[in-house]
Structure 1
């Protein structure tokens, strides 16, 4: 509970629900939003698979929309075009992703969602501490519940707030909050005001003025998605360092930008954006495979984020194919994520920069 209260305060939401991991947070959110068989939900192809899989867990249909070539976020104009060209009530909701730490402009997305009666589930796993500026020039923190119905976070070891593992859902909606509390714990409640069975049923046939102290009710089909006390304690300690770690991430991002923005062999790179949380720092290059192998030979373990989900064999079963998301596919062909974590030293980062330059020069 302490972790939930502190996290909600940090993000700026009314409620927070701690869970066993980020995928559990996505699944529970999908259940709370009542995704059911055949419901069509929009999301991006450039994200970790769980952002789409949570739709399938509930029997929904995943509809991918291509990314913006500059931000690498789901393209809001393409969402509008899809909605305008589809019959009314075709879609139920949208799952935008703050990819790499770049916040989706949820104010603009909310306008679209309201026009088409859609809910928004923000995947903010990459963006705790991130924000965007709204039309009134007000700072809107990722996950604060102002524009998204629900937002989810992850505490995986590589994330901003690392608790070994864990997840969190934030919301300002009390009804969804109470529903998810129950779903998190096997669908069971111990709150007397919510009990459905009579007191005499609960006591086993004994007349009483109140429910017995041992009595709990399973009222829905829920899951064991609770976070452990150990994970929560780690999360609290990490939360205390979150702002300082974010400052360090921005310093690392600036150094990469300064080193590479004028290089001809760098096609694109993460820009310096005030509200960016810099979970990842990504450059787009020629001969990506050659660079990747060269860096590994020199003990630099870069990564690729992400292989487009619509091209995963599982999603190809539903008819998705190469060519459906041309911007995402072009991005994937050139992207490479550079080392980005608060403990990265200046000497280590300089080594990374030097090796990339030496490969191309």
Structure 2
């Protein structure tokens, strides 16, 4: 089976993990801060806070921005459920903005129209979470401009976009957002096994994120005076979580980060090769974009035949996937008032979507096989 995505692990990655296993620290040691520093430098941002996964990062980001019961958080329906669940973890309500049918990201026109209605109803969102679907960035400058006008905060869900660029600048620099989130799941651009990162330029947000990931505990007596005057001092000053990353995971991530440019170059090469080989077939290809991280290569086929095409490819050993069932169609969100037809562009895309395999270890021969089987499944 050729999967749609897969990690790329080499001997250096393995040796980096073994070195930590042989050290005095397995968790809360020196490697997590080293990974955070390396990511901050790579993304040209002031602070990076490593956590156990990107879902945890989204949860902490919402909490750090003060999302609470009664608040509204808007995101894209074309994403994994974590992009909306983080609002509900905080007792808030998630809502959605339909996508642009070309970029497959949150539509700026739809966002602006929805904000005008919400302003009239006095139901403006506290936070908006644009999702960089497949590794291609949203129009962050336009979203930030609307944020300044309507007063909402911004969390970039860049789970697909480690190493991507926006107007030539690194995603994660938070020039147009309060916080950016990355994922290090094995099918993403680089991996820590499981893991995530929250990046920000705001020192108060960074400190809050660091405290929240570790039970809400601080050792800073200047922040919270304590009757304890010993070196063992610590205090829980708010309800936090155990969302820490281990040094074992961080060692893998630090090693992987050194290969990021190699991974990106390979993904962009494979995306370019797909575009050449699939040209002329009855499929709608993603827009070429050399700034994308190309976490996914989503194509669109005739909705009537999508299931048959999908099953034909699976039967031939091609592990295609569909990204994503729109979040608002999930039972949990249907129970909260969402219905089919609410976000037609996302639903139309979903009805036609198939993600083809793309990952650094995918060989040209395997990619050729993917294209041959797809051509056969299309009857072309």
The answer to whether 1:141 aligns with 2:170 is: yes
- What is the CA–CA distance in structure 1 between the aligned matches of 2:225 and 2:110, rounded to whole Å? 46
The structure 2 residue matched to 1:344, chosen from 357, 362, 373, is 362
The answer to whether 1:97 aligns with 2:131 is: yes
CA RMSD of aligned residues (A): 1.0
- What is the CA–CA distance in structure 2 between the aligned matches of 1:10 and 1:295, rounded to whole Å? 38
The structure 2 residue matched to 1:83, chosen from 115, 128, 134, is 115
Q: Which residue of 2 aligns with 1:179?
A: 208
Q: Any idea what SS the aligned residue of 1:337 has?
A: strand
- Report if aligned partners of 1:89, 1:116 keep a CA contact under 8 Å in 2: no
Q: Tell me by how many angstroms 1:89 deviates.
A: 5.6
Q: Which residue of 2 aligns with 1:208?
A: none
Q: Which residue of 1 aligns with 2:151?
A: 117
The answer to whether 1:275 aligns with 2:302 is: no
TM-score of the pair, normalised by structure 1? 0.93
Q: Which residue of 1 aligns with 2:62?
A: 30
- What is the CA–CA distance in structure 1 between the aligned matches of 2:247 and 2:113, rounded to whole Å? 46
Q: Which residue of 2 aligns with 1:3?
A: 35
- What is the CA–CA distance in structure 1 between the aligned matches of 2:189 and 2:151, rounded to whole Å? 33
The structure 2 residue matched to 1:166, chosen from 195, 205, 212, is 195
Q: Which residue of 1 aligns with 2:261?
A: 243
- What is the CA–CA distance in structure 2 between the aligned matches of 1:178 and 1:324, rounded to whole Å? 39
Q: Which residue of 1 aligns with 2:341?
A: 323
- What is the CA–CA distance in structure 1 between the aligned matches of 2:35 and 2:183, rounded to whole Å? 13
- Gapped runs of 5+ residues in structure 2? 1-32
The structure 1 residue matched to 2:182, chosen from 147, 153, 172, is 153
The answer to whether 1:308 aligns with 2:326 is: yes
- What is the CA–CA distance in structure 1 between the aligned matches of 2:126 and 2:193, rounded to whole Å? 34
> Where do 1:38-57 residues align within 5 Å?
38-57=70-89
- What is the CA–CA distance in structure 1 between the aligned matches of 2:300 and 2:165, rounded to whole Å? 24
Moved over 4 A (4+): none
- Report if aligned partners of 2:108, 2:139 keep a CA contact under 8 Å in 1: no
Query: CA offsets per residue over residues 229-280 of structure 1, 9 Å max, x none?
Result: 10000000000001110000001100111111322x11x2112112111000
Query: CA offsets per residue over residues 299-348 of structure 1, 9 Å max, x none?
Result: 11000000000000100111100010111111000000000100000000
- What is the CA–CA distance in structure 1 between the aligned matches of 2:207 and 2:68, rounded to whole Å? 20
Q: Which residue of 1 aligns with 2:12?
A: none
The structure with higher relative contact order (CA 8 Å, sep 6+) is: 2
Query: CA offsets per residue over residues 44-68 of structure 1, 9 Å max, x none?
Result: 1000100000000001111111100
Q: Which residue of 1 aligns with 2:25?
A: none
